Structure 1
Amino acid sequence: MSHKDISREDTLVLLASMGIVLPKDTKLPIEELNKRLGQALDTSQEYSDHIETALVDPWAFPLWPTEKSLYEATKRGNMTESLMGSMSQPKKGDLSSKEDTFKEMRQSVLSLAYACDQKIFEIFFMGAEEKWGIFVRILDVYTLKNEVPLFYFVYKELLPSPNLPMKALKRQIQLSDGPYVTSIVSDLERRTLLRLFQKNGKRLDPKYHEPHKKKGIKDLGLSRSFVLPLCPIGMRNLGKLTADPGCDVCGKGTNSRCLQCLSVLYCSKECQRADWPSHKQACKSLKGGKWHTISMAQPTMLPFLTIMNRLDSSHAVTTPTDEPPPDVHNGKMFLAKFQVSLSSGSSGPGDMLVYDRQRSIRVVWKRSSDPVLFDEATRMIGSKLKFFRWLKRTGPYQFEICIDRAPDQDPLW
């Protein structure tokens, strides 16, 4: 394996550190896992929200105002992190666990912002023993819409040799005699930072010529790239990134479901037949479930005016519209989350917020629509405040629910 590659095992751990938890025994090929990692890195940067063109020309954006704090503009978080203060804890570097890699990466991007605020533009991301490193020279910071900073820089991976030890390599690579910052990173963070830098670097418009004309940039083999602030990935996007874990048998792309329960994905009839002995029991249990018709409504009451999950980025909150939700499931069965309103109290159970993994559907189930069935669901939920059930769409706000059949295990969303 190349010193830049990320193993299959580490890719799964890295995805999990971003909240994208796939089964440890997933059969998804490494190419698909790498694709999801790339999508996750884009999602964390909120890339499509801030950049609308295929190629990025930094000159198309205004420079960042020097009087504005880059550190404050780069900070991102969610409710869970705010309560736990996890992002305010010191960076652990090489002592961090692989499960903390994404948090460490976000702190590394914050360190770029902090250094720029201090008028320090050269950063070394180093291994503890300095056997490898990454040199970054910030050239400019540009302002995207909503005052989001784009850090434009050149970088190079540092690999010393007997003829050129790290100390000499660091002296050689510096573009100025000014101060610099050293940040210790783990090997997995190094590989992931390089993956991010390479990915973004390919998006730079080749017509964009370096305006600074820094002496030696080309001769030193420095590559151009940019990075946006890294955000925690919210539940809506986590649902998209964990969807379709591949054929239950071979991991290939799926094109069919079990027609009896619609809960298992396959790539072919051959794989479905091979899986039937192990799937039969679960399939039959769902097949015999009781289906009931329920009516939903738009979440217009106060508790649901703003829908925010504990993992959603605190600066990106969405509100519902007045239109019926789209039928992205095309009438097929799908799993939905039912969440009891936090306003429930001694006066009785409150209404339930209902949404699917992609949050294409965000509606409210009111007790007044069917008190008997609603109370039965409330008893099933108990003290957990939520449960997952299978739904079928039958109208703009009409659904059928399989009330007495739960998934084998609750998904993470």
Structure 2
Amino acid sequence: MDSLTRQETLTILAGMGVQLPPATKLPDEALQKRLRQALNGAQYISNVLANSPLDPATLSAWPSAHSVYEGVRRGNLQEAQQNYQAKLQGRETELYKNPILDARQTLMGIAKWWDEEHKWMVLQDPESEQCAINIRLLSVLELDKDTPVIVLLYQSVTRANVMEGLQWLNQMRDKNGSPGYLVNIKCTPLEQKLLLRLLAINAKLLTSTYVPKKESSEKNFKVSFLLPLGPLSFEDVGKLNNDPGCVLCGRKTTSRCSQCQSVAYCGSDCQKADWSHHKRVCRSLNGGTWRSARFTTVLPGMEGMYAVPLNKHSSRATNAMNTPRQLDSSVLQPNPHGSRLFLVKLQASLGGTPSSIMVYDRQRSIDVYIHDPEVFDDMLREMRGPRGGYGGVKMYRWAKRISDWELSICSDKEPQTEIKW
């Protein structure tokens, strides 16, 4: 099967929340690196596979009393809410619209069939005419108590090697003694390309000493593994969306809009071409009231305590692995934005009378609190006024870092841009 095209790669990244300019000039190598980072993030590689390579011989079998299907299910608070609303409205999850969501569904299907003692299957395009991936599951092992790892052999089948694929199917049927033993999972060509890319990435994480026994029809099969696949974490979404280059073409930037400083360009040609789209945002910042606000990194009375951050991108996989951090108000937070503008969310403390406002960006590179009474009251009025919304408890605004412990926030202008939060 052909490799992913640039457009297909951008489609997959967009489905994972990674937004790059459609006409991005990022080199193919850089684009594939970002996809690899996104897929590693979706598998929570840094949490569950810190010590690679993976050696299946050192792992125990996944407990038979535990469902592999339940083991591979991943989600977050945002998806849970969306699924609940869809259920209330009598809607089902749309298939074949988002390749990463389709791949997650396929993985759950593979796990479900393993639970029912099926070990070989075919991932077939919906029309059963173009391509397929033949798979034989070798084992399901316990990476940790929450993470099964599915070890498998696989082969991509196209019209060029269809006879080889059919030979394998016939051998599996003969070996298992039942034509009905075949499991066929519908899988679009793009989803198959994505899964093949994922399997190729994971294959490099396997120890070279692991050489499973193959059937006679499996000489061209490759060995790899699948881990639970879920939505990207809050931090990963932020990192992968950071520094996309020129807002129009993705080339290296040389300047920013002189009026608002909120977007960067590679040169005057792209800046002029983007003006019809950007002018609404740019003009919305004209005449705005910018408030300087000193911040702290720890709520009063919380110094020395431990905490784990939760948000709509939080999931069982990410939170279970995060060690609670000790709160220390003397630790200076990084400033990846420099002097540039960036979007922040301002959120009032819930319950009782608000005493502080939490301020953070999408990457959580800054996560602070405002207590200054004058600025606090101003921001709270904005949240509860016509430019606030969200039940009067949060709002989004443009901000910039003006010192190690101070932000400047455009308090009275709503961002006229998509909030990719």
TM-score by length of 2: 0.79
2:123 to 104, 122, 125: 125
Counterpart residue identity of residue 237, structure 2: L
CA-to-partner distance for each residue in 1:117-160, whole Å, 9 max, x for gaps? 22221121112332221111111222224531111111001224
**Paired residue for 1:18?**
16
CA-to-partner distance for each residue in 1:365-412, whole Å, 9 max, x for gaps? 3474634433454236422332122121513x4323233455441330
Task: Find the aligned partners of 1:86 and 1:252 in 2 and give their Cα distance.
Answer: 40
**Paired residue for 1:134?**
133
Q: 1:2-401 counterparts in 2 under 5 A?
A: 3-85=1-83, 96-99=95-98, 101-131=99-129, 132-160=131-159, 164=163, 167-172=166-171, 176-177=175-176, 179-206=181-208, 208-210=209-211, 212-216=212-216, 219=219, 221-248=220-247, 250-254=249-253, 257=256, 261-266=260-265, 271=267, 275=271, 290-298=289-297, 300=299, 307-317=309-319, 321-323=326-328, 324-329=331-336, 331-341=338-348, 343=350, 351-366=356-371, 368=373, 370-378=375-383, 379=385, 381-384=387-390, 385-395=394-404, 397-401=405-409
Note closer, same or farther for the CA distance 1:264–1:175 as it changes in structure 2 (3 Å cut): farther
Counterpart residue identity of residue 244, structure 1: D
Note closer, same or farther for the CA distance 1:380–1:39 as it changes in structure 2 (3 Å cut): farther
Note closer, same or farther for the CA distance 1:235–1:147 as it changes in structure 2 (3 Å cut): closer
CA-to-partner distance for each residue in 1:150-194, whole Å, 9 max, x for gaps? 111110012246983865552246794263422111121111111
Note closer, same or farther for the CA distance 1:350–1:252 as it changes in structure 2 (3 Å cut): same
Task: Find the aligned partners of 1:334 and 1:82 in 2 and give their Cα distance.
Answer: 32
Note closer, same or farther for the CA distance 1:309–1:350 as it changes in structure 2 (3 Å cut): same
Does the alignment pair 1:410 with 2:409? no
Contact 1:127–1:133 under 8 Å retained in 2: yes
Tell which deviates more after alignment, 355-364 or 25-34: 25-34
Counterpart residue identity of residue 336, structure 2: H
Counterpart residue identity of residue 408, structure 2: E
Secondary structure of the corresponding residue to residue 225 of structure 2: strand
CA-to-partner distance for each residue in 1:80-109, whole Å, 9 max, x for gaps? 3323437999xx99x83333x222211111
Contact 1:29–1:251 under 8 Å retained in 2: no
Note closer, same or farther for the CA distance 1:73–1:41 as it changes in structure 2 (3 Å cut): same
Task: Find the aligned partners of 2:161 and 2:113 in 1 and give their Cα distance.
Answer: 31
Counterpart residue identity of residue 194, structure 2: T
Counterpart residue identity of residue 344, structure 2: K
CA-to-partner distance for each residue in 1:205-257, whole Å, 9 max, x for gaps? 22x132x42432652x1001111100111332111112222224542244765
Task: Find the aligned partners of 1:162 and 1:322 in 2 and give their Cα distance.
Answer: 59
Task: Find the aligned partners of 1:355 and 1:190 in 2 and give their Cα distance.
Answer: 38
Secondary structure of the corresponding residue to residue 370 of structure 1: helix
Note closer, same or farther for the CA distance 1:65–1:162 as it changes in structure 2 (3 Å cut): closer
Task: Find the aligned partners of 1:261 and 1:332 in 2 and give their Cα distance.
Answer: 12
Note closer, same or farther for the CA distance 1:184–1:285 as it changes in structure 2 (3 Å cut): closer
Task: Find the aligned partners of 1:156 and 1:49 in 2 and give their Cα distance.
Answer: 29
Indicate the percent of aligned positions where both proteins have the same amino acid.
28
Task: Find the aligned partners of 2:256 and 2:31 in 1 and give their Cα distance.
Answer: 22
Q: CA deviation at 1:343?
A: 2.5
Q: CA deviation at 1:49?
A: 1.2
Contact 2:41–2:233 under 8 Å retained in 1: no
Task: Find the aligned partners of 1:59 and 1:175 in 2 and give their Cα distance.
Answer: 29
Q: CA deviation at 1:277?
A: 8.4
Task: Find the aligned partners of 1:167 and 1:87 in 2 and give their Cα distance.
Answer: 43
Tell which deviates more after alignment, 192-201 or 19-28: 19-28
Task: Find the aligned partners of 1:305 and 1:122 in 2 and give their Cα distance.
Answer: 44
Task: Find the aligned partners of 1:320 and 1:163 in 2 and give their Cα distance.
Answer: 54
Task: Find the aligned partners of 1:84 and 1:152 in 2 and give their Cα distance.
Answer: 32
Secondary structure of the corresponding residue to residue 164 of structure 1: helix
Note the residue ranges of structure 2 that are not aligned, 5 or more in a row. none
Note closer, same or farther for the CA distance 1:152–1:245 as it changes in structure 2 (3 Å cut): same
Task: Find the aligned partners of 2:202 and 2:175 in 1 and give their Cα distance.
Answer: 25
Q: CA deviation at 1:58?
A: 2.5
Task: Find the aligned partners of 1:257 and 1:222 in 2 and give their Cα distance.
Answer: 51
